[in-house]
Structure 1
Amino acid sequence: MARQLRAEQTRATIIRAAADLFDRHGYEATSLSDIVEHARVTKGALYFHFAAKEDLARAILDLQGQASRQVVREVESRGCSSLEFLIRATFGIARLAVEDPILRAGLRLATAHVAVRPPLKHPFSEWLDLSTRKLIGAVRESDVHPDVDVAAAAHSLVYFFVGTRVAGRSLDPDGRLPRRIAEMWHLMIRGLVPVPRRPRYLALTTQLERETRAA
């Protein structure tokens, strides 16, 4: 039992070290030797758990997916409207990305040349499916204009959200991410939401930005 626990701890140490390097330097610029040195483990220990760098990347993407799905479940449990769900979920994922290097690395890896094979799902595909469903719900709930192209809006939301992190990482500190997410939603709300319903969602965005930055 103690041996199994040590193995699990070593695996977690390797994943966290790899995530830190992937986040700071990128997937392509990080070697297995870099990860071994950063994790302070032997090459044998690394190869015992991971046969290749791609396997490490997939492990990080898997952890990111689990964390994102947990955020989705927590927001779903609130029973909020479809649009409120999307706003809360994006801030929830942004908060994780600020707090956890594994989640930050996952966002960066999702745009790297890492093959994502079943049963692992690409995070962007999951987010796109979820955004599409929720935007359809928001149209039914009259929170989004009925003539909005839902597919285009869903793609724009996912690409905008990812871009705030991927493009912004070279310009902003991690703690700036909640502000960028708020700016994104202020623009999207004004473009998607009927005027009488905008104040509620603009206020929610401001509230969530404040809460995320204070956390």
Structure 2
Amino acid sequence: MARQLRAEQTRATIITAAADLFDRHGYESTSLSDIVEHAQVTKGALYFHFAAKEDLAHAIMELQSRAARQLAKEVDSRGHSSLEALMRITFGLARLSLEGPILRAGLRLATGGIPVKPPLRHPFTEWLEIASSRLLGAVKESDVHPDIDVDAIAHFLVSSFVGTRVVGRTVEPLARQPRRLAEMWHILVRGLVPVTRRARYVSLAARLERETGGA
């Protein structure tokens, strides 16, 4: 039992080290030797868990997917409106990115053309479905205009969400992401939400930014 626990801890250490390096330097620029050194493990320990760098990338994207699904499930269990749930999910993903490298690396891998191995689905496909289902709910709840193109808005939202991180990685600190998300939501709310309900969601965006701990 103790040996199994140590093996699990070693595997987690390797994944976290790889995610940190993939996020900071990119997948192609990171070698297995870099990961071994950063994780402070032996090459034998790394190869015991992962046969190749691609397997590490897949493990990171799998953890990213699991975290996103768990976050969406937790938010949905709290009884929020569909639009509030969608906003909370985006800020929740930002919070997870601030807390550790797994989601940051997963996003960089997803935007870097790293192939996703079945049965794992591409994260953007999952995020589009999360956005579409909540937007459909928001239409039924009269929180957004009934004549919107749900697929188009979901695509725009996911593209904007991803863009805040991709652009921000180069030009500003990671801690700025919640501010960028709040700005994104201010624009979306003003375009999607009827005037009588708009103030609630503009205020929510500002509150979620503060709760996420942005700079």
The TM-score with structure 2 as length reference comes to: 0.96
**Residues 105-128 of structure 1: per-residue CA shift (max 9 Å, x gap):** 111111122111222121110010
- Counterpart of 2:209 in structure 1: which amino acid? E
Query: Which one-letter code corresponds to 1:187 in the other structure?
Result: I
* Percent of residue pairs bearing the same amino acid type: 71
Secondary structure in structure 1 of the residue aligned to 2:16:
helix
Partner of 2:104: 104
> By how many angstroms is 1:171 displaced?
1.1
Residues 59-138 of structure 1 mapped to structure 2, 5 A cutoff: 59-138=59-138
**Paired position in structure 1 for 2:14:** 14
For structure 2, the 5+ residue unaligned runs are none
1:44 alignment partner in structure 2: 44
Cα distance in 2 for residues equivalent to 1:166 and 1:27: 15
- 1:148-187 → structure 2 map (5 Å cutoff): 148-187=148-187
- Deviation of 1:27 (Å): 0.9
- Give, in whole Å, the separation in 1 of the partners of 2:135 and 2:65: 21
**Aligned-residue CA RMSD (Å):** 1.3
Q: Distance in 2 between matches of 1:17 and 1:117?
A: 21
Structure 1 residue 213: Cα displacement: 1.0
Structure 1 counterpart of 2:146: 146
- How far apart, CA to CA, are the structure 1 residues paired with 2:2 and 2:156? 49
Q: Deviations over 1:23-53 (max 9, x none)?
A: 1001111111111111121212111111111
Aligned mates of 1:44, 1:112 — CA distance in 2: 28
SS of the residue aligned with 2:196? helix
The letter for the 1-side match of 2:112 is A
* 1:197 paired residue number: 197
Q: Aligned partners of 1:154, 1:49: CA distance in 2, in Å?
A: 37
Tell me how far apart the structure 2 counterparts of residues 172 and 99 of structure 1 sit (CA, whole Å): 17
Look up the SS of the partner of 2:41 in the other structure: coil
Shift of 1:18: 0.2
Paired AA for residue 136 in structure 1: L
Q: Distance in 1 between matches of 2:96 and 2:130?
A: 18
2: CA distance, partners of 1:88 / 1:5? 34
Equivalent position SS for 2:143: coil
The structural deviation recorded for 1:69 is 1.4
Q: How far apart are 1:194 and its partner, in Å?
A: 1.1
The alpha-carbon deviation at position 172 of structure 1 amounts to 1.4
Of 1-10 and 149-158, more deviation after overlay is shown by 1-10
Distance of 1:8 and 1:92 partners within structure 2: 26
Unaligned runs of 5+ in 1: none
Q: In structure 2, how many angstroms separate the alpha carbons of the residues matched to 1:213 and 1:55?
A: 33
Deviations 1:53-97 (A, max 9, x none): 111011011111111112111110111111111111101111010
For 1:177 and 1:77, the matched residues in 2 are separated by: 26
Q: Which moved more, 1:36-45 or 1:15-24?
A: 36-45
What is the CA distance between 1:135 and its match in structure 2?
A: 0.8
Supply the distance in 2 between the matched residues of 1:162 and 1:15 (Cα, whole angstroms): 22
